[in-house]
Amino acid sequence: MPRKPWRRALALAVEALWPPAAALGLSFAVGTVIVAAIGENPLRVLPLIFAPGLGSADGFARVLFDATPLILTGLSVAYAFRAGLFNIGGEGQLYLGAFLAAWVALALPGLPRPVALPLAVLAAAAGGALWGAIPGWLKARFGVHEVINTIMMNFLAVGITGWLVERYLQEPGQMIPHTAEIPAAYQLQPFARGPAGAWLGLDRANPLGASLLVALAAAVVVALVFRRSVEGYRLRAVGLSPPAARYAGIAVGGVTVRAMAVSGALAGLVGVHEVLLYRHRFLDNFSSGLGFLGIAVALMGKNHPLGIVLAALLFGFLNTGALEIDIFTEVPRELVVVLQALIILLVVSFSELALWRRRRRRRREEAA
């Protein structure tokens, strides 16, 4: 008995969406309890998370701004995961990307803008790619699991870039450990400063800019690679069964190194957002866990580029809302971090649950 196609589509959509929706709901329920327990009114506090983003075009643009690096780090995690690799090194890779972008800009100040900008973008990707390729190579060559190595390389990245800034690139006369401002040819300006700003209703100080377009373009490219390319096929074969891939003549080591390099490059592109658009300089220790949040975004988005963009948007809301909570209530903004962690934990649990239910139902249908 064939079911109507729209009902099938609906059923599929429900199946795909209930785990993240339930996770979101349950973690906010826990959030309610926490807020109430410390004596604040949950009905006042929790809506604050979404209020700024939904309240105005300007607020939504800020959410998009916060979502931009998360799209990139989420894609980074998903790309490596496609090849069965767990890249927990996004944090270190984005430091290298940001640092290299700033360093290229400061080292080559005389370049014209059409050369300078692409070069800096490339530098950001290259920095991340290098930092990703190293654990990839260690895995391919020596069989060392990438998880511990990528984490160690996070510490190394923060330490090394910090030292390089301190030793060679520190802006003179400044207490804050950061580089000098990059030359104007390398700078991206927020949309708010351009002609579209007023038309979109953005505040002059709104930071949203072209890095969002870079992130969205990256999502499209990753989606195409996954769905249609030979490389995407090989990533998947290696991810699902390395021995079968090897027997079929796929160079598993090569795929591993490339996957980690591309994954690193995607994280490195956060440098475009951070250095070229936002600060116009490299700030020591600037990221508060963007790389780790990328893991959450990828899990929430089911490692699918579209899902990742949506999940990044959600986490963008949470990050923007955190500021609001900090300013207007007695609740520490870290509440949002707790919520984010709960969301991941629940979303992965529910997804597995959904998977097992689906398998069981399919088996029962086959039996019937």
Partner 1 sequence: MRVELEALSRSFPGVRAVQDVSLAYEPGRLYALVGENGAGKSTLMHLLYGMLPPDAGRILVDGRPVRLAGSQDAIRLGIGMVHQHFMLVDTLTVAENVVLGAEPGRWGRLDRGAARAAVRRDAERFGLAVDPDAPLESLSVGEAQRVEILKVLYRGASFLIFDEPTGVLTPQEARGLFAILRRLRDEGKTVVLISHKLDEVLSVAEIIDVMRRGRHVGRLAREEAGAERLARMMVGREVLLRVDKPPAAAGPPVLEARGLGVRRRPGQAELADVSFILRRGEILGVAGVEGNGQRELAALVTGLLRPEAGELRLDGRPLRGLTPRRARDLGIRHVPEDRQRTGLVLDMSLRENLILGEEGSPAAGQAGVILPGRVAALARRRVAEYDVRVADTRQSARALSGGNQQKLVLARELDGDPRLLVACHPTRGVDVGAIEYIHRTLLAKRTRGLAVLLFSSELSELLALSDRIGVLYRGRLTAVLDADVVDEETLGLYITGARGVADA
Partner 2 sequence: MIGLLLGTLRTATPLLFAALGGMFSERGGVVNIALEGILLVGAFAAAAAAYYSGSPWLGVAAAVVAGVGLAALHALVSLRFRVDQIVSGVALNMLALGATEFLMWIFFGSGSNSPRLGSPGLPATAGRLLVELPPLTLLALLAVPASSWLLFRSRFGLRLRAVGEHPEAADSLGLPVHRLQFYGVLLSGALAGAGGAFLSLNAHYFVKNMSAGRGFIALAALIFGKWRPGGILGATLLFGFAESLQGHLDLPWLPVRFMQLLPYLLTMVALVGVIGRCRGPAAVGRLFVKD
What single-letter amino acid sits at 216? L
Q: 84 or 268, CB closer to partner 1?
A: 84
Tokens of 96: 């290298």
Q: 70 or 252, CB closer to partner 1?
A: 252
Does 245 help bind partner 1 (rule: CB under 8 A)? Answer: yes
Does 349 help bind partner 2 (rule: CB under 8 A)? Answer: yes
Contact letters for partner 2, residues 324-343 (x by CB under 8 A)? --------x-xxxxx-xxx-
Residue 321 CA neighbour count, 13 Å, CB half: 23
Count of all residues that appear for the chain in the document: 368
- Binding site partner of 249, from partner 2, partner 1, none, Cβ cut-off 5-8 A by kind: partner 1
Distance CA 219, CA 71 (A): 8
| Phi, psi of 286, deg, nearest 5 | -80, -30
Query: SS3 of 179, please?
Result: strand
Does 175 help bind partner 1 (rule: CB under 8 A)? Answer: no
Number of residues engaging partner 1 in binding (CB under 8 A):
24
Question: What angle do the packed helices 57-82 and 47-55 form, to 10 degrees?
Answer: 110
Q: What distances in angstroms separate CA 148 from CA 152, 254, 289, 333, one per listed residue?
A: 6, 20, 17, 29
Buried residues in 246-268 as b, exposed as e (16+ CB within 10 A): eeeebebbebbbbbbbbbbbbbb
Contact letters for partner 2, residues 131-170 (x by CB under 8 A)? -------x---xxxx-xxx-xxx-xx--xx-xx--xx---
Does 216 help bind partner 1 (rule: CB under 8 A)? Answer: no
Distance CA 128, CA 269 (A): 8
CB of 241 vs partner 2, minimal distance in Å: 14
Selected range binding partner 1 among 130-138, 159-167, 232-240, 285-293, rule: CB under 8 A: 232-240
- Binding site partner of 15, from partner 2, partner 1, none, Cβ cut-off 5-8 A by kind: none
Does 358 help bind partner 1 (rule: CB under 8 A)? Answer: no
Q: Are 160 and 92 in contact (CB under 8 A)?
A: no
CB of 263 vs partner 1, minimal distance in Å: 19
Distance CA 361, CA 367 (A): 10
Q: Are 178 and 282 in contact (CB under 8 A)?
A: yes
Q: Binder to partner 1 among 26, 130, 251, 348 (CB under 8 A)? A: 251
Does 43 help bind partner 2 (rule: CB under 8 A)? Answer: no
Selected range binding partner 1 among 125-133, 225-233, 292-300, 336-344, rule: CB under 8 A: 225-233
Does 174 help bind partner 1 (rule: CB under 8 A)? Answer: no
As beta bridge partners, residue 170 has 179
Distance CA 136, CA 86 (A): 10
Which residues sit at the interface with partner 2, rule CB under 8 A?
A: 38, 86, 88, 138, 142-145, 147-149, 151-153, 155-156, 159-160, 162-163, 166-167, 289, 292, 295-296, 299, 332, 334-338, 340-342, 344-345, 348-349, 352-353, 356
Which residues sit at the interface with partner 1, rule CB under 8 A?
A: 228-234, 236-237, 240-241, 243-251, 363-364, 366-367
